[in-house]
Structure 1
Amino acid sequence: MDKKEKKRLYDLEYRKRKEVIEREKRRKQSNEYKEQNKQILQKRRVKNHRNVKYNEWKKIGIKWDINHQDPYQMYLDNDKCSICNNDYKSGSDKQLDHDHLSGHIRGFVCRSCNSKMARYDNLRIRLCLDLHRYFHSK
């Protein structure tokens, strides 16, 4: 092994050791910063979460053409299911119910009521199609 090869191998080993040391140093600094700034970081996370939720509901408002009211505010204001009148168990339990044929928004409902209505809508559509076929088959 010549001198250049030895130097190259040494440099590789040195960089690997230095990377590990630097990584540990950054991790330690990061943990110290997080420990010293818990409240600031918590406020930032809450604000970011609100912005993400607001943007999601803004997209929903554009998709469903809800321009008479802020969809995110509608989401926040609605705290009970429109059908069973029960409180929502979690944020994911609150769902925007709409008619798939017309696109008309009916309101916010809980997950169980939404799935029941979806089954009812499917039965209603299937019944209408079956009746149409029956009366127009001859």
Structure 2
Amino acid sequence: MLLNISYNRPDIKEKINAEVGKPFTLVERFRLNGTGSPKLHITSTSLDIHNLLVLDNNMNTCNIELRPKGIIIMFRSLLETFALVIPFYKLHLYKGKAREYSFYRDHYFIKVKAGDPSVHKFMMKILNYKAENAPTQVEDL
């Protein structure tokens, strides 16, 4: 789900928390060696996200936050902050041959450039956390 998170609205926070869980506690963040990605350069997006990104002339960048039940990809357009909320059961993560990672959820997608080794480490962290904590049966959802 694509949301505008620029303003402090409790109903939006509740939607995000219901979809991907509440943020990790400080102790859990230390145990995971951080839950945020470095700055990622966006190379390609789906039409809905592309229409938001072309509104300004800034460099298209995003960052990813790991949550207990999914990830949040955040990016800015004009003076607004948008979030693509992806629970693990809808997350499809692919690595392209041109040092590029693709994140898919339903009809949304974002492709990011992976030039730095820390990006590869963070993507492995996402995949490992998803494998260890994703539900194994439908009843677990």
Q: Which band: TM-score by shorter chain?
A: under 0.3
Greater RCO between the two (CA within 8 Å, min separation 6)?
2
Larger radius of gyration: 1
TM-score by length of 1: 0.24
Q: Which has the higher helix share?
A: 1
